[in-house]
Amino acid sequence: EVQLVESGGGLVQPGGSLRLSCAASGFIFSRYAMAWVRQASGKGLEWVSGISGSGGNTYYADSVKGRFTISRDNSKNTLYLQMNSLRAEDTAIYYCVGDYGDLEAFDIWGHGTVVTVS
C-alpha cells in the first residue's frame, strides 16, 4: 500500500524550531519528487517547499524562504522539513506530498501533522 506518514508536529513558541518527518512506503521513494503543503485551520492549501527525487534541487515559497529547509534521505525513505524562526502564521496542518514527475501534479498525500506556533 502506498503510504506517507508525517510526524514531528506540535506546539512551539514563536521564534522556535521544529523538524517534520515523512516516512514513505509502498513505492520507490527515490523516483518521486516530494513536497510539503500546508493548510491553516479552515483555509485553503498552500505549497511550502519541494525537492527533486535525487535531492539535488530544492524549492521554497517566498513565505518560508530562509527559514525552512527541505531534505530527504532516500536510504531511509524519509522526507524532512526543518522549520526555524517559526511565526504564528506558520500554524497549520502540514501535508507530505509525493509526485512521480517534477512537482507538477502531487499524486500522493499523507494525512498531515499539526504545527501550532503560540
Which positions lie near other proteins, rule CB under 8 A?
35, 37, 44-47, 50, 59, 61-62, 95, 103-107, 109-112
- State the amino acid at position 3 in one-letter form: Q
Q: How far is the CB of 103 from other proteins (least distance, A)?
A: 7
Contact 71, 21 (CB under 8 A): no
In terms of CB distance, is 33 or 86 closer to other proteins?
Answer: 33
Q: Which residues contact 100 (CB under 8 A, 6 or more apart)?
A: 31, 32, 33, 107
In terms of CB distance, is 69 or 107 closer to other proteins?
Answer: 107
Q: Distance (Å, rounded) from C-alpha 114 to C-alpha 14?
A: 15
In terms of CB distance, is 29 or 106 closer to other proteins?
Answer: 106
Q: How far is the CB of 76 from other proteins (least distance, A)?
A: 22
Contact 36, 113 (CB under 8 A): no
Q: How far is the CB of 104 from other proteins (least distance, A)?
A: 3
